[in-house]
Structure 1
Amino acid sequence: MASALTVLFLSCWLAGHSGVWGEPTLPKPSLSIRPSRWVSLGGPVSIWCQGQNQSMRFVLNKEGSNFTPVDTDGFEAVFPISNVSREDGGNYSCSYRGRSEPIAESYLSDPVELVVRDPSLPRPSISLSPTGVTAPGADVTIRCQGQRRDVRFFLHKAGDLNPQRHVDPAGDGAEFRIPTVGRQHGGSYSCSYRNRSEPFVSSQPSDPVQVVVVEPSLPRPSISLSPTGVTAPGADVTIRCQGQRGNVRFFLHKAGDSNPQRLMDPAGAGAEFRIHTLGRQHGGNYSCSYRPRSEPFVFSEPSDPVQLVVAEPTLPKPIISPSGEVFLGEAVYIRCRGQGQGVRIVLNKGGRHVAHVDSEKLEFEFPINNVRREQGGNYSCSHHSRSEPFVRWSDPVELVVRG
């Protein structure tokens, strides 16, 4: 009858030769999928397992099933898949063990998901609410819309490896809400979906949308027009944006246009936007902002607006009165009469803006109390719709000041 010592020795020997010897003793390897863990159907992909010891036997595992081990003299092994099929999608992990000492085995790596993209699945669409640049602290909703039901939608942010997911089995769309938006939420987003019956087969991603967040700590830029005042059609106009820091990209915004015009000026703290051969389509309110080149989805607050007003000879000419003489210290009223209601009436002297008023009446009187010598000269007025900045000048009148 065998002794207890003999039985114990035999049990240890069998355990060692079967590859089981208590807890793993080698450090956990890392696993990566190249070029990406999202691969199109039929495309190539390689799964890399990297350990911390040389001359090891590497084993690739997919959801409990092992692939043929690979022996290598280096620190890593490659498991290539040349023609990816739907069945190749899934969760992979790997481990390694010594070739000469099979009892020395590592822990399993963290799992990595391989997702197969099927081009035959219709691509979803994506939209943002609200659109445009978002104020900090606001709530943003990203909606993904597909053409199939009983699917799971995934939201992807460029640069993030792990998508956020949402299950919506009752419909063909899903909403992802971002409450209290901050600068960390800025980025480029897209979405995809997977049939719930094939959890590792995905549609191609939607076109991207950008979440751009205003950062109040960035100093606001200033904006100026050259030439100033009302500009004749056909002229050239320069809109200058001036900031307080370099290495930024400036954006020019026209009220009502969803896509800003941009210009990069990394050498300085300002940028110029030129409008050649001015037409009435260029009239409007303009502002500018900038974003640091190191944070392309963070904007400064916009500058105060400037209004580009285009002279329009086809509009009815306003009437200005009176002309004549006035004595020093007296009061006089310059009356401007337009051809419509609900307009902005502008008083000019020598071609320069003096005053303006938004009026619901046909005419307005600009008072000059206690007339001074320098207030003599040629005056004209213009009027334009507050929603359409196109103007027509009146004929000038001369105000003569006598002592």
Structure 2
Amino acid sequence: MTTTNNSRPPEAVYIHIPFCTNKCFYCDFNSYVLKDQPVMDYLRALDREMELTVEETPPGVIKTIFVGGGTPTVLKPDEMAYFLASVRTHFPHWAEDIEFSMEANPGTTDPEKLAVMKAGGVNRVSFGVQAFQNELLTGIGRIHNVDDVYRSLENARAAGLDNLSVDLMFGLPNQTVDMLAESIRKALELKLPHYSIYSLKVEENTLFHTLFHKNKLPLPNEEDELQMYLLLMSSMEAAGYNQYEISNFAKPGMESRHNITYWRNQDYYGLGAGAHGYVGRQRHINIKGVNPYVEATRSGLPRLDAYPISPQEAMEDFMMVGLRMREGVSDTAFQAQFGRSMEEVFAAPLHKMVHAGLLEQGGGTYRLSKQGILFGNDVFGEFVGALTEV
């Protein structure tokens, strides 16, 4: 049996459903257009991977499950029911207050499907809204419109699902600061417990990457993008939301516990095509293609790669992901994972960033300053490879 560095079995599960109704122009996730895909073959293969995984590494009491994609809600109600029964079979012991999240696309959540999700244990739904202007949605390849957003949220609440989140994006082609202000205002009018708001990154192997290199992607300038980020932080704060991570805002107690697992560098199972997992200081990446993944599960775990993480790399990861959170990184947690103090290991970059005014220190904790939030990547970069010569 494989166990974590602190001898606790994993308590978090990520599961990937790689199907979408279409491919968004900015998306580089492992996702495939649903038409003609062998969905049930995939779900049966996923069931096999779950079975083999828990044989190799038996689970503890599961505290968080996150189903991402793709768009998991493109599954039909009977497919969804099969999938959720698989999860319950292989991960039977759930914490009483489990957080079971599923990503959804507005327009793919009719009442019947939501009822199946609720019955299967899903209690948190995250909707990929992105913007409240139909012309922007069309321009980024989304197939829903603003009316779909309201209808989907209404359906979710009617199904008894009230732990809801929406994703918004800024820095989109042709988006102005005023447009973002309108999207934030409309999002806040929904009075949801949680919002994720990300800046557009132009990733390789996307339509936007091609357009960008042809100089045909009309992105906002840097000054406007900075104004957008400042605006969203001040708007969220004024509305009573805590910025608990660089891109995430929540009412007190409604933070995404699954994502906090990642940011605290804790173990999680990663299941499905292209999924990443981290168990017992070993990372793995699964085979990405749907049919190759299905085929691979017939003879074992569908691994593309698996490799141990050295203590040095784990320490660097701890700092880089932990500093994304507004509460920062604590020496107590660092010592619990590594048996050494943060100061002993990272004195140089920590002192340099405090001196630069990008980190604050207090009570055995380092956290980003207000200025540091704006230059987070510079701070994280200080820890990349910081220990390669240790």
Where on the TM-score scale, by shorter chain, does this alignment land: which range? under 0.3
Higher helix content, 1 or 2: 2
Structure with more strand by fraction: 1
The structure number with the bigger radius of gyration is 1
**Structure with the larger RCO, 1 or 2 (CA within 8 Å, 6+ apart):** 2
TM-score by length of 1: 0.17
